[in-house]
Structure 1
Amino acid sequence: MSTEEPASGRPIAGLSVQNWVHLILAGFVVVVCGCLVVGGLVLSRISDRTTELVDHIQPARSASFQLQNSLLDQETGVRGYALTGDTTFLEPYEEGMRAERERLARLRSLTGDEQPYAGDVERIERAAQQWRTLRAEPLIAAVRENGPTAATSAPIMRSKADFDSLRALYNAQQSHLDDARDTARAELGDTRTTRDWVLVALVVGFVLAVVSLSLLLHRVVGRPLGALTAASDRVRAGAFTEKIDVRGPSDVRAVSEAAEAMRSRLVAELAESQERETLLAEQT
C-alpha cells in the first residue's frame, strides 16, 4: 500500500497500478492452476480405471479361461484313460495339473486378497484337489491295476458329477470377473463423460475469468487513467477552473492530485496576475 503524500498533503491509500496488475496476473495463475489440478484429477481417475481394466481384470479373465481349459484337460484325460487304458491320455492330465498350478498362481497375483476373487480361487483349488483325490487318482489306480474293465460307468459318472460341481465354481468365478469388467467399463465411461464436462467447464470458466479480469483491469486502471487524461486535456484547452479529481489506484490518484495542485497554483497565479493588471489599469 502506498504512503506517498502529494503536494496537497493528503495521504494516498490503496493499491497502485502495478499492484493491480500483479493481482490480476495472480488471478490468472490461480485459474490456470485450478484448471491443471482439476484436469489432472480427472485424467488420473481415467488412468486408474484403465489400468484396473487392462492390467488386472482382463488378464484375470484370460487366466480364468486358461484355468478352465487345464481342468477340462485333466477330466478328459482321466475319462479317456479309464475307457481305453491308453497311457497317452494321462499326458493331458499331467500337463493340465501343471498348467492349473500356473494359472492359479497367475490369478492370485492379479486379484490379490480382494474378495470375492480370492475366495473363488481358493474354492476352485480345493475342489480340484478334492476331485483328484477322491475320483481321478483312485480311478487311474484302478485302471492301472485291473485294466479298463475296472472302470465301470458308475465311477466315471461320479467323477463327472464332481467335476460338474467344479465347473459350477469356475462359472461363479467367471461371473464375478465379468461383473468387475462391466463395472470398470461403466466407471470408465462415466469418468470420460465427467472429463468432457470438466473440460467444457474449464474452457468456459477460463474464458469468463479472462473477460472478468480484463473488465476489472479496465475498471480499476483503464477508466481512472482515461478520466485523468480527459481532465488534463480540458485544463490544457483552457478550462483552468475545472477541478481535477480522479479516483482510482493510489499512483493514479497521486498523479491526479499533483496535476490538481499544479492547476490550482496556475489558477492562483493567473488570478494574481489579472489582479495586478487591473490594479495597474486603475492607477493609470
Structure 2
Amino acid sequence: MNKNWTFGRKLAFGFAVSSTFLIAIGVAAYWSIYVLIGTASSVNHTQKVLEHVTALVSQMKDAETGQRGYLLTGDPAYLEPFQAAATGTPTVLAEMRSLTVDNPGQQARIGQAEALVTAKFNELKRTIDLRKSGHADEAMKIVLSGEGKKVMDSLRAVTEQISREERDLLSKREADADATSSSAKMTIVVGTVLCLLFVIAAGFTITRSLTDRLGMAVGHVQSSSAELQAAATQQASGAREQASAMSEISTTISELGVTSRQIAESAQRVAQIAEQTAGAARSGEGTVERGQESIAGIRRQTDLVVSHMLDLGRKSQEIGAVLDIVSELAEQTNILAINATIEASGAGEAGRRFAVVAEEIRKLADRVAASTKGIRIQIDDVRGAVNTTVMATESGAKAVDLGARQFAEVALSFKQISDLVSTTTEAVREIELSTKQQATAADQVRIAVSDVAQTTQETEASSTQTLQTASQLAGLSMDLRRLVHPQAV
C-alpha cells in the first residue's frame, strides 16, 4: 500500500481485497454444487437403466414360470404371469432404449435383447399353443430340448453386458462427484486461509503505519512544547508588572473557582458512570464469549450427526448387497423347483435326478436362511446408528437453547449500558450549564485584562514566537485529523 494513503483508504483497500477473496470462494462453492447436482442426476439416470434391466429379466422369468406351470397343470390361471410379461416387456424395452439414446453401444445391445425376447416369447407361445391343442408331449419335448434355456442364457448374457456398462458409468460418475467435492473443499479451505492471512497482514501493516505517523507527530508536538516553555520564561518578567491588575482578576477567579468545583463534581459523576458502563461492557463481553462456546458446541454436535448419517448410509448399502443375494437365491430356487417338477413327471430313472434336484433346493434354502440372518444383523446396526443420530440431535438442540439464553444475557447487559449512557448525558448537560457561568465570569476577566494592555506590549516579542509555535502545532493537528477524517479537513 502507498505510504501517502489515508487511514480510511487503507481500510477500504483491505476490506475490498477481503471481499474479493470471499466472492471468489463463494463462486467456487456455487460451481462445485452445480457440478455435483449434474453428477447426481447422471447417477440417478444410470440407476433407472439398471432397474429396467432387472425388470426385463424378472418379467422373462415370470413368463417362463407361467408357461411351465401351464404345461404341467393345464390350468389357464398359470398363464397370467406370461400374459403380464408379454404386455409389460415391450414397454420396458422402449424405456431402456429412450434412457440410453446417447449410447450407441447400449442401443445395439438393447436391439439384441429385443430379438432374444421375441424369440423367447415365440418359443413359449408355441409350447402353450401345443398344450392347448392337446399335444402336451410335443410341448414338453420342446422344453426338454433346451431351446428356451439357450435363449434365456443369451438374454442374461446381453442384459449382464448392459448392466456392466451402466455400472462402469456409475462408478465413473461417482468418482467425478468425489473429485469435484474434494476440489471444492480444497478451494474453500485454501481461499479462507489466504483471506485470513491477508487480513492479518493488512491489519498489521495499517497499525504499524498509523503508529509511525502518530509517533512523528507526537515528536513534533514535544519539540514545539519546549519552544513554548522557553517563550513562557521570557513572559515571566512581564508578569511582575501585571500584579496590580491581577488583584481585580482574583475576584473573578474566585467565581470561576466555584464554577470549576461544580464542573469537578459533574466530572466525578461522569467518571463513576463510566466505570459502571465499563463493568457492564465487560459483563457483555463475557456473555458473548459464553455464547461463542455454545455455538462451538452446536457445531460439534452437528458434525457428530453427519458422521452417524454417513454410517447409516453405509449400512444401507450393505443391506442392499444382502438383498441381492437373497434375490439371486430365490431365482435359482424357483428354476430348480420347476425343473424338479418336470423331471418328476418322467418317473422311473428320472426319480433319481429328482433327488439330486431336491438336494440342490435344500442347499439353496440354507443360503437363503444365512442371507436372511445377515439382513437381520445389518438392520440392527442401522437402528443403532439411527438411535445414536437422534441422541446427537437432541444434544445439539440443548446447545442451541443454551446459546439463546447466553445472547439474551448479552441483550440485558447492553440495555444496562444504554441506561448508564442516558445518565451520562444528563451529567454533561450540567457541565454545559456550569460552562455558561464560566463564560459570564470570563467577560469580567476580559475587562480586567484591558488594564494589563500596557504590559502586553512588553511581551509582544515573545508572543510572536509563541504564535509561530502555535501555528506548527495547528499544522500537526491537521495532520492527525487528516489520518482519521480526510474529508473534514
The TM-score, its normalising length taken from structure 1, stands at 0.68
Q: 1:223 Cα deviation (Å)?
A: 4.2
Residues 1:232 and 1:121: Cα distance change in structure 2 (over 3 Å) = farther
Tell me if 1:46 matches 2:248.
no
Structure with the larger RCO, 1 or 2 (CA within 8 Å, 6+ apart) = 1
Whether contact under 8 Å (1:49, 1:184) holds in the other structure is: yes
Tell me the distance in 2 between the aligned counterparts of 1:209 and 1:103: 59
Provide the residue aligned with 1:92 in structure 2: 81
Question: Which residue among 197, 205, 228 is the counterpart of 1:208?
Answer: 197
1:73 is aligned to 62
C-alpha change, 1:201 and 1:150, in structure 2 (3 Å) is: same
Give the RMSD, CA atoms, in angstroms. 3.3
Kindly state the Cα deviation for residue 39 of structure 1 after the two structures are TM-superposed.
1.6
The answer to whether 1:182 aligns with 2:171 is yes
CA contact (8 A) 1:28 1:209 kept: yes
In structure 2, C-alpha distance between the alignment counterparts of 1:209 and 1:148, rounded to whole Å: 88
Q: TM-score, normalised by structure 2?
A: 0.42
Deviation by residue 1:193-229 (Cα, 9 ceiling, x = unmatched): 333333322331221121133234335x524532443
8 Å Cα contact 1:77-1:90 kept in structure 2? yes
Aligned equivalents of 2:48 and 2:212: distance in 1? 67
Rounded to whole Å, the distance in 2 between the matches of 1:239 and 1:62 is: 95
Does residue 1:141 correspond to 2:129, yes or no? yes
Equivalent position to 2:223, from 229, 235, 242: 235
The 8 Å contact of residues 75 and 163 in structure 1, kept in 2 or not, is answered as: no
Tell me the residue number matched to 2:331. none
C-alpha separation in 2, matches of 1:211 and 1:182: 43
Is 1:158 paired with 2:147? yes
| Structure-2 separation of matches of 1:96 and 1:195 | 47
Contact 2:36/2:181, CA 8 A, preserved across alignment = yes
AA matched with 1:123: Q
Alpha-carbon distance in 1 for matches of 2:52, 2:227: 92
What is the letter of the counterpart of residue 32 of structure 1? Answer: L
Is the contact between residue 64 and residue 82 of structure 2 (CA under 8 Å) also seen in structure 1?
A: yes
The residue that corresponds to 2:441 in the other structure is none
Q: Does 1:19 align with 2:9?
A: yes
| Amino acid corresponding to residue 198 of structure 2 in structure 1 | A
| 3-state secondary structure, aligned to 2:133 | helix
Q: How much does 1:16 deviate?
A: 4.0
Asked if residue 30 in structure 1 is aligned to residue 232 in structure 2, the reply is no
Q: Counterpart in 2 of 1:266?
A: 468
- State the AA in 1 paired with 2:138: A
Mapped pair 1:195 → 2:184:
yes
The aligned residue for residue 226 of structure 1 is 214
- Pick the aligned partner of 1:171 from 160, 168, 172: 160
Q: Is the 8 A contact 1:117 1:173 kept in 2?
A: yes
Q: Give structure 2 stretches of 5+ with no counterpart.
A: 229-464, 473-489
Give the superposition deviation at 1:92.
0.7
Q: Is the 8 A contact 1:124 1:169 kept in 2?
A: yes
Note the C-alpha offset of 1:35. 0.9
Distance 2:218 2:86 in 1: 95
The Cα of 1:142 is off from its aligned counterpart by 2.8
Per the TM alignment, residue 154 of structure 1 is displaced from its structure 2 partner at its CA by: 4.0
| CA spacing shift, 1:107–1:236, aligned 2, 3 Å | farther
Distance (Å, rounded) in 1 between the aligned partners of 2:47 and 2:177: 14
* Distance in 2 (alpha carbons) for counterparts of 1:153 and 1:237: 125
Segment drifting more, 87-96 vs 38-47: 38-47
1:45 is paired with a residue whose SS is: helix
Counterpart-to-counterpart distance in 2, 1:195 and 1:60: 30
Say which SS state the counterpart of residue 111 (structure 2) adopts: helix
Gaps of 5+ in 1: 1-12, 241-262, 271-284
Greater shift in the superposed pair: 87-96 or 231-240: 231-240
CA drift of 1:151 comes to 1.1
Do the aligned partners of 1:85 and 1:147 also contact (CA within 8 Å) in 2?
Answer: no
Task: Give the counterpart letter for 1:51 in structure 2.
Answer: S
1:81-113, CA deviations, whole angstroms, 9 ceiling, x for partnerless residues?
Answer: 344443223211110122223323443454442
Amino acid at match of 1:237: S
Q: Give the number of the structure whose alpha-carbon radius of gyration is greater.
A: 2
Higher helix share: 2
Residues 29 and 196 (structure 1), Cα distance of their counterparts in 2 relative to 1, 3 Å cut: closer
AA aligned opposite 2:149: K
Q: In structure 2, how many angstroms separate the alpha carbons of the residues matched to 1:112 and 1:208?
A: 51
Kindly indicate whether the alpha-carbon contact (under 8 Å) linking 2:7 and 2:210 is maintained by their aligned counterparts in 1: no
Correspondence for 1:260:
none
- Write the letter of the residue equivalent to 2:168: D
Native 8 Å contact 2:63 2:86 kept in 1? yes
Aligned sequence identity (%): 19
Deviates most, 41-50 or 163-172? 41-50
User: 1:56, 1:111 within 8 Å by CA — same for their partners in 2?
Assistant: no
For 1:86, the aligned partner's letter is: D
Q: Count the aligned residue pairs.
A: 233
Retained in 1: the 8 A contact 2:127–2:142? no
